[in-house]
Amino acid sequence: MSATVTGADPGPVRRRTPAIAVEHVVKTYPGGVRALDDVSLTVEPGTFLAVMGPSGSGKSTLMHCAAGLDSPTAGSIRIDGQEIGGLGETRRTELRRERIGFVFQAYNLVPSLSIEDNITLPLRLAGKSPDRDWLRSLVERVGLGGRLTHRPAELSGGQQQRAAIVRALVARPAVVFADEPTGALDLNSAHEVLALLRALVDELRQTVVMVTHDPAAAAQAHQALVMADGRVVDTLDAPTATALADRLVMLGRG
């Protein structure tokens, strides 16, 4: 099954190239375990996609392959028009730094660095300087304007995750991959982070792909893909938490 993901119509689209194009991707592990089974997916710029499914459904493997963290056994993956399958590890690392942002459940902030240094670390590793106006705009948007000199331990979990989101956006990536971004947060902080991700999509036309097990989190997306046994088995537009939970229950019943 294939899917094309588009968000609400934002008017004229500047980037016509899909943010992500996955074509007939297969991922097989030793022993013949097929984690991805002929998955095709196109994500247009400025959209928010949630990927859900039971444990072992292939959702994390799909994200790892689409983000260039793992290589598919067969098929094609393009990020912002760039085919990543034939790239060497050095060029793939450069592509991740330049065109892909990551937000993880565990924040992955360096404890000894200030929040500002954590945010700009990927750019400095790439030998680049941040766009100060863009950085300032992002920091103010997420409510961390007075926290840049603080260390991560001085911030709440929700504030640390917002810092991680700014870090993911500072290089103006084609797509941000978020892996269970609210998994370590309390309910209120989780709601704030999800609302922020949706606002970044709707207002800045950022593309976000989020892997989550939480129907309430996935309900923030424009569209949700449901996976089972390495395949996309359902696509829900403007998903609701109830509809997603019901679909997962059906999968659990076989």
Residue 156 lies in a domain: yes
- Do the beta carbons of residue 121 and residue 82 sit within 8 Å? no
pLDDT for the residue numbered 57: 92
DSSP secondary structure of 94-112: HHHHHHEEEEETT----TT
Q: Determine the length of the chain.
A: 254
| Nearest alpha-carbon partner for 142 in 157, 158, 120, 121 | 158
Residue 20 lies in a domain: no
The secondary element (H helix, E strand) that includes residue 42 is strand 33-43
pLDDT for the residue numbered 98: 87
Residue 184 lies in a domain: yes
Q: CATH no. for residue 102?
A: 3.40.50.300
pLDDT in tens, 139-166: 999 999 889 999 999 999 999 999 999 9
| 173: number of Cβ within 10 Å | 22
CA distance 139 to 115: 10
Q: What is the DSSP letter of 153?
A: G
pLDDT in tens, 54-94: 888 999 999 999 999 999 999 999 999 999 987 888 888 88
CA distance 86 to 95: 12
| Alpha helix positions (H), the chain | 59-66, 89-99, 115-125, 132-142, 157-169, 187-204, 215-218, 241-252
Residue 53 lies in a domain: yes
According to DSSP, the residues that pair with 83 across neighbouring strands are 78
According to DSSP, the residues that pair with 175 across neighbouring strands are 100
Mean pLDDT (the chain, rounded): 90
- Give the structural domain span for 216: 45-58+88-252
Residue 38 lies in a domain: no
- Do the beta carbons of residue 212 and residue 52 sit within 8 Å? yes
pLDDT in tens, 176-226: 999 999 988 999 999 999 999 999 999 999 999 999 989 999 999 999 999
Residue 66 lies in a domain: no
Start-to-end C-alpha separation, the chain? 18
According to DSSP, the residues that pair with 191 across neighbouring strands are none
Backbone angles phi, psi at 84, to 5 degrees: -100, -10
- 3-class state of residue 126 by DSSP: coil
- Res. 14: pLDDT tops 50: no
pLDDT for the residue numbered 87: 84
Question: Count of domains in the chain?
Answer: 1
pLDDT for the residue numbered 114: 97
Q: How confident is the model at residue 232 (pLDDT cuts 50, 70, 90)?
A: very high
Residue 186 lies in a domain: yes
Contacts of 203 (CB under 8 A, 6+ apart): none
Residue 237 lies in a domain: yes
Name the more confident of 161 and 14.
161
Backbone angles phi, psi at 40, to 5 degrees: -125, 140
